[in-house]
């Protein structure tokens, strides 16, 4: 499938949304149901984050089509010098070849290829639910302004926001000077060059406006993209 991808303009990042990219929205709702079955992230001790993970290899076939192979690897290690550089083990995404995942990976690969022609990629997919309660927030960037140690990232594609406030995504240049911020709404995402820019997202807090439920959550999917050759 060909997505409506484009090149970077003034800075090597872009904020866009799934509809603008001509993503097949009909497959999104079924995938969203899988967020209700995520296990708690074992590296977050206050149960404010749930996560599944998948690692994929993608081979460029003709600039729009990519062969996609799920490696089955459940160990994740970032190329960074802080505590995130330690190897971590996560539960794998339940259906690694779900149509949503397949299309999301293809879209990420096309976004990468149009800005940096490639032959092969390794992509780490993170399916995350942040959870908040009255008086208890959830932080997805506890390490502060940072890079993920890869070539490109989709820092977050937001699929749900329920009973939460906050979660502003910010982009910084290589000197960590702020250049952009946005509160990502459902279906919005940021794609950026992780070698040239930094990123950060503020915590989310309980809002209690969407319902009387004493819980709120923000569902997202993100990916770390490493160019093999």
The string of pLDDT tens digits covering residues 131-143 is 999 999 999 888 8
CB atoms within 10 A of CB 157: 25
* Strand positions, DSSP E, the chain: 13-17, 49-60, 66-70, 75-76, 88-89, 120-132, 152-162, 164-166, 168-172, 178-183, 188-193, 198-201, 204-206, 216-227
pTM recorded for the entire structure = 0.96
What's the average model confidence in pLDDT over 195-206? 97
SS3 for 110?
helix
Tell me the per-residue pLDDT of 173-197, one tens digit each, with 9 for 90 and over: 999 999 999 999 999 999 999 999 9
DSSP 8-state assignment for residue 32 = H
What's the average model confidence in pLDDT over 117-129? 97
Given a cut of 90, is residue 41 above it in pLDDT? yes
Q: What is the 3-state secondary structure (H, E, C) of 72-102?
A: CCCEECCCCCCHHHCCEECCECCCCCCHHHH
Contact 70, 105 (CB under 8 A): no
| Long-range own/partner contacts, residues 30-34 (CB < 8 A, 24 or more apart) | 30/100, 31/98, 31/99, 31/100, 31/101, 31/159, 32/159, 32/160, 32/219, 34/94, 34/95, 34/98, 34/127
Q: Where are the alpha helices (DSSP H) in 82-156?
A: 99-115
Residue 17 backbone dihedrals phi, psi, to 5 degrees: -145, 165
What's the average model confidence in pLDDT over 19-27? 96
Region of poorest pLDDT, from 8-17, 22-31, 174-183, 204-213: 204-213
Mean pLDDT across the chain: 94
Given a cut of 90, is residue 169 above it in pLDDT? yes
Given a cut of 90, is residue 18 above it in pLDDT? yes
What's the average model confidence in pLDDT over 165-176? 97
Could you tell me what percent of the chain has a pLDDT over 90? 87
Given a cut of 80, is residue 209 above it in pLDDT? no
Instruction: Give the pLDDT score at 171.
Output: 98
Given a cut of 80, is residue 114 above it in pLDDT? yes
User: What phi-psi label fits residue 43: left (phi over 0), alpha (psi between -120 and 50 degrees) or beta?
Assistant: alpha
């Amino acid at each position: 499938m060909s997505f409506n991808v484009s090149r970077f303009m003034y800075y090597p990042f872009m904020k866009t949304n799934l509809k603008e990219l001509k993503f097949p929205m009909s497959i999104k709702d079924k995938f969203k149901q899988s967020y209700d079955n995520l296990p708690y992230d074992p590296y977050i001790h206050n149960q404010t984050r749930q996560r599944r993970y998948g690692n994929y290899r993608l081979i460029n076939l003709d600039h729009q089509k990519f062969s996609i192979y799920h490696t089955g690897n459940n160990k994740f290690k970032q190329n960074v010098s802080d505590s995130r550089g330690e190897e971590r083990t996560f539960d794998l995404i339940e259906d690694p070849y779900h149509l949503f995942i397949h299309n999301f990976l293809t879209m990420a690969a096309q976004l990468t290829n149009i800005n940096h022609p490639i032959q092969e990629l390794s992509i780490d997919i993170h399916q995350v639910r942040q959870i908040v309660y009255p008086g208890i927030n959830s932080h997805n960037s506890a390490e502060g302004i940072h890079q993920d140690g890869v070539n490109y990232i989709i820092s977050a594609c937001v699929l749900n926001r329920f009973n939460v406030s906050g979660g502003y995504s910010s982009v910084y240049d290589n000197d960590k000077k702020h250049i952009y911020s946005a509160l990502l709404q459902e279906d919005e995402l940021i794609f950026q060059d992780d070698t040239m820019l930094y990123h950060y997202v503020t915590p989310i807090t309980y809002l209690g406006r969407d319902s009387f439920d004493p819980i709120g959550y923000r569902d997202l999917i993100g990916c770390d993209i490493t160019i093999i050759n």
